Amino acid sequence: MKRQMRKKTFLVLLAWLALRGLSAAAQTPDQIWNHFVEWGRNPPANPGNKSMMELYVEQLLAEGVPKEEAERRAKLISGELRQKSRANNVLFWDTMFRIRSGPERPLKLLAETIRELPPGRALDVAMGNGRNAAFLAAQGWQVTGYDISPEALAIARRRAAALGVSYEIVLSDHRSFDFGRERWDLVLFSYIVADEADLDLVFGKKLWDSLRPGARVLCEGNFCEPLVRTLFSLTLPGFRLERYSDREEMREDWGSGSVKGRVIRAVVRKEP
């Protein structure tokens, strides 16, 4: 009798776990996004300096969501659902910077490239916490940076005040920012995230026209490959690829030099 009871209890438990797994997998995209939004309003402490999506997957696992489903949701949130609207994109990055302030040191590529350059006007695309803008400003550059995240820009303002430097901070997305014409001596892309349509609408001829003769575009991160491909395909006057590398090494992004992965670097010059 006791053996039969134990068997029955075990079968009921299995059925409950199966139903729970099916329920977890049945979430709609809106439900998945809304759950992430609620979680992001009061994110957990992060003493281990984990990424936002690592923390979120841990939360889903703690709620009984199967690992494969939790990872699928994380990918959906950071991709399709983030890109669904400007509001979603802002919320995603605000949550990211609320959990982690981002990397602290400026890019080595940036430091190496400007060593022999006279200070001029620089644009920091999707500037994040301002680590590169602050470095440039300290070297005498006149810097403008923009980002879609108010949380990121608040960190950038605090950084400028703490270091005693100044740079212009603009709340904007890629498509709304006014790049101007022959305005910049240096444009920096540091591990930015952009949608495919941004390449045609923003980071092609519009970007090129905003450069002064002799200006350089510096890029590090996965975005460099499509950026260089786009610029090259336009047969722009004065286009010169000064540097391009694609290798496995320590990344200078959110891992702060502790994560090894694919690192693409590019330097493009607009010849006078």
Whether residue 161 has pLDDT greater than 60 = yes
3-state secondary structure 35-104: HHHHHHHCCCCCCCCCCHHHHHHHHHHHCCCCHHHHHHHHHHHHHHHHHHCHHHHHHHHHHHHHHCCCCC
Q: What 8-state DSSP symbol labels residue 239?
A: E
Question: Looking at the domain covering 108-270, what would its CATH class be?
Answer: alpha beta
Q: Over the stretch 185-213, which tens digit does the pLDDT of each residue have?
A: 999 999 999 988 899 899 999 999 999 99
Provide the pLDDT for residue 252: 83
pLDDT tens, residue by residue, 182-192: 999 999 999 99
Res 260 pLDDT > 90: no
More confident: 9 or 135: 135
Tens of pLDDT, residues 70-113: 999 999 999 999 999 999 999 999 999 999 878 889 999 999 99
| Region at 157 (left for phi over 0; alpha for psi -120 to 50; beta for the rest) | alpha
pLDDT attached to residue 44: 87
Instruction: Name the pLDDT band for 6 (thresholds 50, 70, 90).
Output: low
The SS3 call for residue 208 is: helix
Map out the domains of the chain as residue ranges.
Answer: 2-98, 108-270
Contact 46, 99 (CB under 8 A): yes
Confidence of residue 11 (pLDDT cuts 50, 70, 90): very low
Q: Is the pLDDT of residue 242 over 70?
A: yes
Residue 129 vs residue 51, higher pLDDT: 129
Among the residue ranges 138-152, 177-191, 255-269, the one predicted with the least confidence is 255-269
The structure's pTM equals: 0.85
The full DSSP string for 133-192 is: HHHHHHTT-EEEEEES-HHHHHHHHHHHHHHT---EEEE--TTTS---SS-EEEEEEES-
For the cut 90, the answer to whether the pLDDT of residue 49 exceeds it is no
Mean pLDDT of the chain: 89
Do 212 and 185 form a contact (C-beta atoms < 8 A)?
Answer: yes
Tell me the pLDDT band of 258, cut-offs 50, 70 and 90.
low
**Contact present, 173 and 86 (Cβ < 8 Å):** yes
> In the predicted model, is pLDDT for residue 16 greater than 90?
no
Task: Kindly report which listed range (24-33, 158-167, 193-202, 223-232) carries the lowest average pLDDT score.
Answer: 24-33
pLDDT over 60 (residue 3): no
Instruction: Give the model's pLDDT for residue 4.
Output: 56
pLDDT tens digits, one per residue of 108-139: 999 999 998 999 999 999 999 999 999 999 99
Q: What is the bridge-based pairing of β-strands 260-270 and 239-250?
A: antiparallel
* Between 46 and 227, the higher pLDDT residue: 227
